[in-house]
Amino acid sequence: MSNKLGALLGKQCFRLLLISNRVKWGQKCS
């Protein structure tokens, strides 16, 4: 996995974490 791809996935995961504000997404992002 490239650094750029990882960064994009991280941003998307962070957005979902902010929007949903659920522990499940937090665990997936970790």
Write the pLDDT tens digit of every residue in 1-30: 578 878 887 888 788 777 777 666 556 665
State the amino acid at position 17 in one-letter form: L
pLDDT of residue 28: 64
What gap in Å lies between CA 12 and CA 17, rounded to an integer? 9
pLDDT of residue 19: 78
pLDDT of residue 3: 83
pLDDT of residue 18: 78
> Cβ contacts of residue 15 below 8 Å, gap of 6+?
none
pLDDT of residue 27: 64
Structure tokens belonging to residue 20: 């949903």
The pTM of the full predicted model, rounded to 2 decimals, is 0.38
pLDDT of residue 30: 54
